[in-house]
Amino acid sequence: MKKRMLGLAVLFALVIGQYVSPMAVSAEEITAGTKQYQTNFTETSLSGGNTYMQQFFQIENYWHVASVDVHLDYKVSQLTQNERSNLTLMINGTPFHSFRPIEQAVGGQQLTVHVPPEMIVKGVNSLTVQGHLETSSPIVQNTCLPTDTRDNWLQIAKTSRIAVNYTTESIQLSIRDFNQHFIGMGTVKEGQNAIAVPKAGNLAELEAATYVVSGYAKANPVTDKAIPLIEYSPDNVKGKQTVILVSLFDDLPEDMKSLVQSNNLENTALIQLIKQADHDILVITSADAGLLVKAGRLAANQTLLSQIDADRKVVDNTTEVDTPTVNVSRTMTLTETGDKLTGDRHQEKAYFISLPGNRSIADASKLRITYRYARNLDFDRSMVTVLINDTPIGSKKLSTELADNDHMDLIIPKTLNISGNFTVKLAFDLELKNTNCLENQGQMPWAFIEKDSMLQLNTKDKADLLFNNYPYPFLRDGSYNKVAVVLPKDKDPYIYQTLTNLFNLLGRYAQTNTGEVLYFQDNVSAQQLKGREIIAIGSYKDNQVIRDQNNKLYFRYDQSGRGFVSNEKMSIDASYGTRMGTLQLLDSPYESGFGLLAVTGSESKYMYLASKLIGSEGTLWKVFGDGVVTDIDGNIHAFRFKKETAAESSNVLTDVLERRDVLGFMTAALLVALLVLLSLIMMIRKYNKKRGDRR
C-alpha cells in the first residue's frame, strides 16, 4: 500500500513539475546581476478546430540571454477530447513544445516551458501558440459528418507572459552604444533613464531638451512608460543608469565642466559621453543658446545619433541635423516585394500606414489589392476580406478562374473617420475540401499578395479645436506647429512631470525634428504669442496667461483664484473646485485661427493629473470635446462647449475636384463638346456662305 502511495506521489510530482507555477525559475539560470524583462500577452479568445495566435518579444543587441521562459495561463473548452487535441508552441516558426490539455481540468491551466536558447535571435522574435482542438469524436468510422466548431475554443489569459532573463554588456565609449542602452526596453521599463536640465533651467535649455524628449519618445519601444524630463541634481539622477544632460556651459555642474573637451563653445556645441562610477551621462552643451538648440535637434534625429561611434560630436553652424520632411504621398504601396500566406483556414496580413496626426482620409480614397492563390481550395467556402482598423470594408469569394490573377477595388468609406496612423488588414479564409474527413496530406494552401497592391489616399486637414483631433493644432504634417509653452516663473517637479507627459505623447506623433517649440515665462507679451499655438501650464496665481484669460475659460476660477466654479455643463462644489485639474482647448485670444491649451489646476499636482490624460495613447481615448475635468480619485468628465457647426451642404464642384478620375472624364467630355460646337459653327457659316453666293 505504501509503495502504491509513493508511486502516486511521484506521478503527482511529475505532473506538477510539468505544469509549474509561472514564477518558478531555476536557480542555475538566474544568478546575481541577472535581470528579467517580461512581455505580457493580450487577452485572446480563439475558436475553431485549428486556432493560433502570435506574440512578439524583443531581444536587445547588448543583452546576453540566460534563458527565456514561456508562462502560459489558458482555458480550453470543457468538451475537448483530450486524446485528440493538442497545443504546440513555436518560436520564429519552429515548433519546440507540444502537449495535450489536462483531461477534465477544472478552471484555468498553467504551463511553464523553457525555450531552447539557440532558437532565440537578436531583435524581434515571435511566439506562436497553435491549437488543434476537437470536441466530438466520430460516431461511425469512415463516415464524414458535418462538424460544429463553436465549442472548440481556447482562451489565453493576459497573465500569460514571456520572461527573458538576461545580463547586459557595459556601455562602450561611443554615443551610438549609449543611445542603444538609453532606449533599451529594460532601461525604460525600470525607469533607469532620464533627460535633465539644470535647476531653474534657461528657456533655451528647455527648448533643446524638448526636442531631445520628442526624438526619444518616438524611438521608445515601451509605449506605456514615458522618458522623464527632470531637473538635474545628484538625488534626481540617483539610480539612473543613463542620463542626458542638456545645459548651457555656464550652467553645467563644476565637476563636469573640467571633463568637457572643447575650447570653442562660443562657436560650437558639443555632445559628449562622460562615464561615471554609477551611471553614464551624455552631455549636450554650448555657450551659445542657438547652437545648444541645434545640438538638441541632432539628438532628436535617431538616425544620426545611431551612426556616431565616437564618444563626442562637435556641432557647428554647418552641421546637418534635420530629419527628412514628411511627404504625404497620394499613392502608397502596401508591400515592396509581395507577401505570402501559408496554411489552411484563416490567415491574415496587416500593413501599417503612417499618416500625420492632423490629416484625415477624405472622400474618394481607394484601395486596390491584387493577389493570387492555390487551386486546391474549396472555392465554395474560401474568400478574402479587407479590414481597416479591424473594420471590414469589403469581401470577395475566391474562384478557380481567377486564381492566378485576382484583384479587389474598394473605396474607403468616409464614415470610418480615419485620421493619423491606421492599419490595412487582408484576411484570407483558405478552406480545403473534406478537411473534416481527411488529413492534410501536405497540400498546404497559400495566397500571395502582389507588390502592385496600392492605396490611393486623399487627405484633408482636421481644423476643429477638439481633443478628438489631438494632437492638432500643435502638430501639423508631422512637425511642431509654432508651439509656445508658457510656464510659471518657479518650476516645481510637477511642472517637469507635466512637460514629460505632454511631449512624450506629442513626440510620438512628431515625425520630424524641424518644428518649433519656444518657451516663455508667464509675463510674456501678447505680441510674442501672436501666430502661435499656445500651451499654458500652471494655476490662476502663477500663470498670468491663465489669469488674464480666466473669463474665456470653459472652467473658470473664482474671484480669489483658489478653485473652479460651476458652469452650464457641470455643478462644482467650492471645495471640490480646489481639488481638480482641467484641460481646456479654446481659440487663441491673441490671433484668430490659432489655439490655446490650458493645463491648469489650483495646485500643480492637480494640473499634473490633467496632463496624464494626454500623456499616452492609452489614456488619450478618454478625452474628447474641448473641456475635460479630472480629480485625484480618477474621475474624468469630458464636455464639448463649442457649438457644432451645421453640416456643410454638398458642393458638386468640390466633390468633382476631389475625384480626379471624374474630373478627367468631364474634361474630356467638355473638350468633345467644344469640338462639336466648333464644327457646328463652321458648318453653319459654310452653309450661309453658299446661300449668299447663290443669291
pLDDT tens profile 557-599: 999 999 999 999 999 999 999 999 999 999 999 999 999 999 9
Name the DSSP class of 312.
E
pLDDT value, residue 673: 84
Strand partners, 315: 269
Regarding predicted confidence, which is higher, 509 or 667? 509
**For the segment 253-285, what is each residue's pLDDT rounded down to a tens digit?**
988 998 898 788 999 999 999 998 888 999 999
- Per-residue pLDDT at 106 exceeds 80: no
The Cα 615–Cα 606 span in angstroms is 14
- Per-residue pLDDT at 17 exceeds 50: no
- Per-residue pLDDT at 515 exceeds 70: yes
**529: its cell numbers:** 504669442
- Per-residue pLDDT at 213 exceeds 90: yes
Which band of pLDDT confidence, cut at 50, 70 and 90, is reported for residue 144? low
Which of 15-24, 169-178, 376-385, 616-625 comes out lowest in average pLDDT?
Answer: 15-24
- Per-residue pLDDT at 519 exceeds 90: yes
Which band of pLDDT confidence, cut at 50, 70 and 90, is reported for residue 60? very high
What is the arithmetic mean of pLDDT over 363-371? 86
Which band of pLDDT confidence, cut at 50, 70 and 90, is reported for residue 682? confident
Q: Are 274 and 312 in contact (CB under 8 A)?
A: no
What is the arithmetic mean of pLDDT over 73-83? 70
Regarding predicted confidence, which is higher, 666 or 70? 70
Regarding predicted confidence, which is higher, 172 or 691? 172
pLDDT value, residue 12: 35
The Cα 583–Cα 669 span in angstroms is 53
Residues with Cβ within 8 Å of 418's Cβ and at least 6 positions away in sequence, in order, are: 360, 361, 388, 389, 412
What is the arithmetic mean of pLDDT over 622-647? 88
The Cα 249–Cα 252 span in angstroms is 5
Q: Is 338 left (phi over 0), alpha (psi -120 to 50) or beta?
A: left
* Run of H or E residues at 13: helix 2-18
Q: Are 307 and 270 in contact (CB under 8 A)?
A: no
What is the arithmetic mean of pLDDT over 33-37? 86
Phi, psi of 32, rounded to the nearest 5 degrees: -60, 135
